[in-house]
Structure 1
Amino acid sequence: MVNLKNKNVEISLHFLIWLVLFFLPAAFSVGSDADWKDLFRHFWLQLIFLAVVFYANYLYLVKYVYDDKKIWFFVANLTLILSLIFFKNQISEWLEPRRHNPGGRRPPTGLFYFIDTLIYMIPVAFSIAINAGKKIQKAEEMKIEADNIKLQSELQHLKYQLQPHFFFNSLNNIYSLIDFAPEKAKQSIHSLSKLMRHLLYKTDVEKINLSEEIEFLNKYIELMSLRLTDNTKVFINFPKAIPEMKIAPLLFISIVENAFKHGISATQHSDIHFKMEIADHEINFTASNSNFPKTDTDKSGSGIGVENLKKRLNLLYPEKHEFHSHLNNGMYIAEIKIITD
């Protein structure tokens, strides 16, 4: 559809240019003694043959240049141009025969052919330049398309990488409940099935509603909270009124997972805070948690979540996002700012 539209624009542009070129001689001859026959012989006939040279090259002969058949291109153009010059002279002679002037001196015929050949080389040069420009534009479009395909493939890879990581962390959480809280383990499996349904049916799109993403986060936080003791407090501050905004799925889950992974201690008091603020087209999400770094022997999770998030943000929101993480008074704080379209 786009190609057809571009083709129609191109045809219309060519038609308009030639219409102007054919109209100008008539416009300039208004008020003079020139008649239509003179206009045709002196201007329009030349324009017709210039158009023939241009479109012969534009549509066909210029292919020889790109197929490395430059000699054939030169021979074909020279033959075409000389033939047209000959026919133009014959038609001009037929329209207005030259008077015999024995005493007068006429320029040599070769000079007329040389000058006309130079004139006919102009549309040849134009046809080459236009085709070269189209080839460059097509190459740029193909490069952009290839980059987009690469981008989509990389995003898809990151998404597929994230989902097993999420599933693995959730299973670890459920596994820890089986022995001492089997009922909570059952409830966790039920909650996990709802979350996996979201992963299967809601994330295979470019963007989802922000309200759906917040609902997913709430369900995940609820699932993770089932295993917590009274030593850990979770505070959630999400907006009650959520505007109609679209956002890429699964952008915040990694730092939420990270907060539960590194913010819980079996013996010490710990706090986990999640906060989201929305202003115009800007989303600010903050996760802060007590910092209990995992040891090298702790294999819960693969550690790819935050790195995955950074890559996805760079691909999805180039120059429209910020991600910061730091320690402050024993609290690990991760902040994401996203500017949506």
Structure 2
Amino acid sequence: MKILEEIKKLCLSRYNLSVLGAQVGIYALLVSIWSLVIMLLEHDVNAAKESMRVNAFVLFLLLIVFMANFYLLVPYLFEAKSKLKHWAFWVINLLFIILWNHHIFSIYNDDLPNAPIRIGFYQFGVMWMILNYAMVVAAIFVRYYIRHNTLRRQLREEKQKMTEAELAWLKNQLNPHFLFNTLNNISSLTQTSPNNAQKAIGQLSELLRYALYETQPKEVSLNGEIAFIKNYINLMTLRSGSNVEIKSQFIIHNSQLLIAPLVFLTPVENAFKHGISANKPSFIHISITEDNGKIVFLCENSNYPKNDTDKSGKGIGLENMYRRLELIYPGRYQIEQRISQQTYHIKITIKPYKR
């Protein structure tokens, strides 16, 4: 019963039904074309009917050989790892082909009038055996092609699932990291400017709403992302002193552009984290522009690296961003970074997918 269930499942699979439909279609097409050729050449309806009858019978024999191998012999014998089953496959095929075609091979020499015709019959027999075995080989190759495509599709699906899982993990890392850095900044405000700290908490709630609820899709509106970055800059500006120059510019002509959510957040965070000194002149310049369908993010800031004793969220930001860009925009992004004369520069160019 188990074997019958497996055979039923095998025969009713989508790929196998497609092959069956294609084979029946080819069979009907060949019979019809050959009958039409006879009709056009002989101008004889009876000859065309006889041709259809003969060719329908002959091609049906070949079709059954193919189907028997495709559905049964190849999957259960040829594709098995046992050498004994491999040998059984070819022996069974030989016996099956001979028995299935016995009507063609049952013409006795006494029925053939002379030697030349008998020689022609022998040649026909050899060619007919080769043609039958061609059906066997065709069944092997068709099954190999289907299995190969199925494996490729499964691997592609598994890779996609792994990529999505990794992106989800990276995103889940990003939100706590962002929250940690922001709370760290608000914490310092509670001591120096309680009023600004209260205002910052209100702004933080708006940022969290976007980060937690608006960034669930794989891509979000670029305008929405820019609004988030503007709010973040305004929040961070509250704790910046008069010695810090903060400039931002956003020029987007195509309002339909989409971008991966929070992809530019890390360099903006790092600019406020590493670009501001308590007693030295500092600057942060941030821009997002559109250039021939490409999104260009640019951030330049003074660079005052934190020392080893600073524990304010060190480590995962940039590495997380690089990995996300590679997973989401492989071959469609560029990153330029440089540090010169205590100035940090990063430029990210992304070519979004067309919709």
In 2, Cα distance between equivalents of 1:204 and 1:4: 36
| Residue segments in structure 1 that go unaligned for 5+ positions in a row | none
Q: Does 1:81 align with 2:101?
A: no
| TM-score, length of structure 1 as denominator length | 0.88
In 2, Cα distance between equivalents of 1:7 and 1:209: 44
| Structure 1 residues 41-190: aligned runs within 5 Å | 43-63=55-75, 64-68=77-81, 69-88=85-104, 106=118, 114-190=126-202
Q: Does 1:275 align with 2:284?
A: no
In 2, Cα distance between equivalents of 1:318 and 1:73: 47
1:321 aligned to which of 323, 330, 333: 333
1:18 aligned to which of 7, 27, 33: 27
Q: Structure 1 5/224 Cα, relative in aligned 2: closer, same or farther at 3 Å? A: farther
Q: Is the 8 A contact 2:245 2:284 kept in 1?
A: yes
> Higher mean Cα deviation, 274-283 or 60-69?
60-69
Q: Does 1:248 align with 2:260?
A: yes
Q: Is the 8 A contact 1:283 1:339 kept in 2?
A: yes
Q: Is the 8 A contact 2:286 2:299 kept in 1?
A: yes
In 2, Cα distance between equivalents of 1:36 and 1:235: 86
Shift of 1:194: 1.3
- Specify the SS of the correspondent of 1:179: helix
Q: Is the 8 A contact 2:285 2:300 kept in 1?
A: yes
Q: State the partner residue of 1:227.
A: 239
> What letter is aligned with 2:239?
R
- Specify the SS of the correspondent of 2:248: strand
2:41 aligned to which of 31, 45, 55: 31
Shift of 1:207: 0.5
In 2, Cα distance between equivalents of 1:149 and 1:250: 21
Q: Tell me the percent identity.
A: 32
> What letter is aligned with 1:293?
P
Shift of 1:155: 1.0
In 2, Cα distance between equivalents of 1:189 and 1:74: 78
In 1, Cα distance between equivalents of 2:23 and 2:288: 56
> What letter is aligned with 1:17?
I
Q: Does 1:334 align with 2:343?
A: no
In 1, Cα distance between equivalents of 2:235 and 2:115: 110
| Residue segments in structure 2 that go unaligned for 5+ positions in a row | 1-11
Q: Structure 1 55/245 Cα, relative in aligned 2: closer, same or farther at 3 Å? A: same
In 2, Cα distance between equivalents of 1:58 and 1:303: 57
In 2, Cα distance between equivalents of 1:190 and 1:247: 26
Q: Is the 8 A contact 2:186 2:201 kept in 1?
A: yes
Q: Is the 8 A contact 1:211 1:242 kept in 2?
A: no
In 2, Cα distance between equivalents of 1:222 and 1:155: 28
Q: Is the 8 A contact 2:112 2:118 kept in 1?
A: no
| TM-score, length of structure 2 as denominator length | 0.84
In 2, Cα distance between equivalents of 1:283 and 1:81: 66
> What letter is aligned with 1:267?
N
Shift of 1:339: 0.3
Q: Structure 1 183/280 Cα, relative in aligned 2: closer, same or farther at 3 Å? A: same
Shift of 1:287: 0.7
Q: Structure 1 230/101 Cα, relative in aligned 2: closer, same or farther at 3 Å? A: closer
Shift of 1:22: 1.4
Shift of 1:25: 2.5
Number of aligned positions between the proteins:
334
Q: Is the 8 A contact 2:210 2:228 kept in 1?
A: yes
Q: Is the 8 A contact 2:31 2:52 kept in 1?
A: no
Shift of 1:104: 9.4
Q: Structure 1 36/241 Cα, relative in aligned 2: closer, same or farther at 3 Å? A: closer
In 1, Cα distance between equivalents of 2:117 and 2:298: 94
* Backbone CA RMSD of aligned residues: 2.9
Structure richer in helix, relative to its length: 2
| Structure 1 residues 294-313: aligned runs within 5 Å | 294-313=306-325
Q: Structure 1 161/103 Cα, relative in aligned 2: closer, same or farther at 3 Å? A: closer
